[in-house]
Structure 1
Amino acid sequence: MTTLLNADLHCHSVVSDGTMTPEELAARAKANGVALWALTDHDEIGGQHRAAAAARAQGMAYLTGVEISVTFADTTVHIVGLGFDPDDAQLAEGLVATRGGRGERARDMAQQLAQVGIEGAYEGALKFVGNPALISRTHFARFLVESGVCKDTSEVFRRFLTEGRPGYVPHRWARLGDAVRWITEAGGMAVIAHPARYKFSANEEFALFSEFKAHGGRGVEVVTGSHSPPEYLTYAAMAQEFGLAASRGSDFHSPDESHTDLGTLPPLPATLTPVWELLADRIRPAAA
């Protein structure tokens, strides 16, 4: 498999905060030419067996996936896990603990929104939740659009739910080292998701990459729906500097909300080692 492979190793289903089922995502990925796919729901691996079966039915190769929220430098950072055992007990237990604070956080968010005149946000957000244990800002954003407070989810995050705005409630997630350990001890590879999104200083970013690698992390998303073309080059260079493999993924959530569709990103730069080359023995092949 080469860097030209149409691999999409980052997307979300109704099992976390996407709007499509694993089966619908698999069909969409296949229709868009994806050859290797991973479903990476937030802090949840409950959709993995469905996704693997759907990929096989569509004739696509599959890697197990998850996106774990961690706190680093007082910032929420996401670590993607690929190629792990979806039945690993330690990983499952760690994710349950990580999800534990979402319900209380959601009620606090709703209380803040009520203070600025937006009533019923918690109940409204729940209407969009496939898994109540994973209620998130995205579900609140969909409620605020449906109720006419904002015209789209981008406006929601400009006006609400981000630091310094009404409805923002921080949450302390897993530690970086724990997330990397859960993934690697389950037989998978840990990958820093969309690093440009975190807006770290140069020193903070260096610290993230250094600590991540020290814990056993092995990859970084270079070509993602959250990066601009100049950022592809920035993180290609970071991958080479830190000796990390490169990943590619749209971060697709919904046909109506996501800027980048499944399978539509440019290929990885040819100078990089794709994560799928290092995970070849973990890839579930397409049906014959």
Structure 2
Amino acid sequence: MDSSTRVDLHIHTVASDGTWTPAETVAAVRAAGIGLFAVTDHDSAASVALTARLAAEAGLGFLSGVEISVTLAGHLFHVLGYGIDPEGRSLRRILDANTALMEEVDHDSIKRLAAAGLPISYAEFCAYDYDPGRGGWKSLYYLIDKGLCTGVGDFFAELFNAKRGIVFPEFSHPAEAIAAIKEAGGVPILAHPGSDFHGPAIEETLDLFAAEAIEGVECFHLCHDAATTRRAVEWCDLHNLLITGGSDCHGGFVPARRLGVPELRLGQLRLGKLADSLTGFSEGGG
């Protein structure tokens, strides 16, 4: 694998809120000419083992991964774990706990919206048959199918928001997620620090995580402009941290996030010891 190999280290599957199965993910990666990729589902490692096997069969470089939700200073952040054993005990505990928290808030949000007079029913929601292949999550598609929103944008703008008393749950502190990733043999990376999804600007986010035991930063991401990417890389250089990047592609669920965008080459990243965790690559794979 040389410095010109195309890389995408942030891809979601049907194991969280993406639309692609492991087989569809591998096929899309190969068709895009990407030689090294990672599956990083939200609070789930359910697609890792199968994707790893299919990637090896296709001669593609693969990094096992996960994206863990954490709470710090009242804000929601994401920590990526690369090179993980998906069956790590502490990792499994934190992923199961986060999944339970999100399921709880999913149900609570429907109860609150029903109580506010929206033409929905909690009993109907419980019986609603959600197809994970659509991407996203159950409450989103229930409300879409009821005609109350059209997608993620107005879901958060009009329905799932603090004005209605609906907020994301309090997840564990980053230290717990980082410890679980390391116990599973992985490397913790701060995801997309410049994303306005978190709330704080990049400088505040970097300051918040300066005291945490992260080992790298996702400097390259679709939501980062050139200045943000440059600042993140400078921060990694200053602290001698790893540099990663990816599209945050969700298959067809978030059309703006396209596989392989931003276009990254291996030579732009600093993977350090993560290179030892690569599996499946052959010279014919990209």
- TM bin (shorter chain): 0.7 to 0.9
- Where 1:49 maps in the other structure, the secondary structure is helix
Matched, 1:274 2:270: yes
Equivalent residue, structure 1, for 2:232: 235
- Where 2:11 maps in the other structure, the secondary structure is coil
- 1:35 Cα deviation from its structure 2 partner: 0.7
Give me the whole-angstrom Cα distance separating, in 1, the residues matched to 2:143 and 2:153: 11
- 1:146 Cα deviation from its structure 2 partner: 3.5
Equivalent residue, structure 2, for 1:147: 146
Equivalent residue, structure 1, for 2:176: 178
Give me the whole-angstrom Cα distance separating, in 2, the residues matched to 1:251 and 1:202: 18
Q: For each residue in 1:50-97, what CA deviation from the matched residue of structure 2 results, as whole angstroms up to 9, or x when unmatched?
A: 110121232211110000011111111100000122232222123222
Quick one: structure 1 residues 242 and 48, their matched pair in 2 at CA, closer, same or farther if it must change by over 3 Å? same
Give me the whole-angstrom Cα distance separating, in 1, the residues matched to 2:119 and 2:136: 15
Give me the whole-angstrom Cα distance separating, in 2, the residues matched to 1:249 and 1:124: 36
- 1:193 Cα deviation from its structure 2 partner: 0.6
Equivalent residue, structure 2, for 1:158: 157
- Where 1:38 maps in the other structure, the secondary structure is strand
Taking structure 2 as the reference length, what is the TM-score of the superposition? 0.86
- 1:269 Cα deviation from its structure 2 partner: 9.9
Equivalent residue, structure 2, for 1:133: none
Q: For each residue in 1:24-51, what CA deviation from the matched residue of structure 2 results, as whole angstroms up to 9, or x when unmatched?
A: 1111111111111111111111221111
- 1:137 Cα deviation from its structure 2 partner: 7.1
Equivalent residue, structure 2, for 1:57: 57
Give me the whole-angstrom Cα distance separating, in 1, the residues matched to 2:238 and 2:59: 36
Q: For each residue in 1:112-170, what CA deviation from the matched residue of structure 2 results, as whole angstroms up to 9, or x when unmatched?
A: 2221414147448761447xxxxx974433333343323332232222223x3437233
- Where 1:101 maps in the other structure, the secondary structure is helix
Give me the whole-angstrom Cα distance separating, in 2, the residues matched to 1:33 and 1:167: 45
- Where 1:260 maps in the other structure, the secondary structure is coil
Matched, 1:285 2:286: no
- 1:245 Cα deviation from its structure 2 partner: 1.1
Quick one: structure 1 residues 247 and 203, their matched pair in 2 at CA, closer, same or farther if it must change by over 3 Å? closer
Q: Which runs of 5+ in 1 are unaligned?
A: 131-135
AA in 1 matched with 2:234: A
Contact 2:8 2:264 in 1 (8 A): no
Taking structure 1 as the reference length, what is the TM-score of the superposition? 0.85
- Where 1:142 maps in the other structure, the secondary structure is helix
Equivalent residue, structure 1, for 2:109: 109
Number of positions where the alignment pairs a residue of Structure 1 with one of Structure 2: 277
Quick one: structure 1 residues 210 and 77, their matched pair in 2 at CA, closer, same or farther if it must change by over 3 Å? same
CA RMSD of aligned residues (A): 2.6
Give me the whole-angstrom Cα distance separating, in 1, the residues matched to 2:243 and 2:202: 20
Give me the whole-angstrom Cα distance separating, in 2, the residues matched to 1:196 and 1:82: 20
Contact 2:106 2:138 in 1 (8 A): no
- 1:175 Cα deviation from its structure 2 partner: 1.4
Equivalent residue, structure 2, for 1:9: 9
Quick one: structure 1 residues 139 and 258, their matched pair in 2 at CA, closer, same or farther if it must change by over 3 Å? farther
- 1:201 Cα deviation from its structure 2 partner: 5.1
Give me the whole-angstrom Cα distance separating, in 2, the residues matched to 1:231 and 1:207: 14
Quick one: structure 1 residues 240 and 124, their matched pair in 2 at CA, closer, same or farther if it must change by over 3 Å? farther
Give me the whole-angstrom Cα distance separating, in 1, the residues matched to 2:178 and 2:239: 16
Instruction: Work out which structure has the larger RCO, using CA pairs closer than 8 Å and 6 or more positions apart in sequence.
Output: 2
Q: Which runs of 5+ in 2 are unaligned?
A: none
AA in 1 matched with 2:14: V
- Where 2:77 maps in the other structure, the secondary structure is strand
Give me the whole-angstrom Cα distance separating, in 1, the residues matched to 2:128 and 2:237: 42
Equivalent residue, structure 2, for 1:196: 194
Matches within 5 A, 1:247-262: 247-262=244-259
Contact 2:136 2:253 in 1 (8 A): no
Give me the whole-angstrom Cα distance separating, in 2, the residues matched to 1:35 and 1:240: 25
Pick from 206, 218, 221 the counterpart of residue 221 of structure 1.
Answer: 218
- 1:268 Cα deviation from its structure 2 partner: 6.3
AA in 2 matched with 1:183: I
AA in 2 matched with 1:279: L
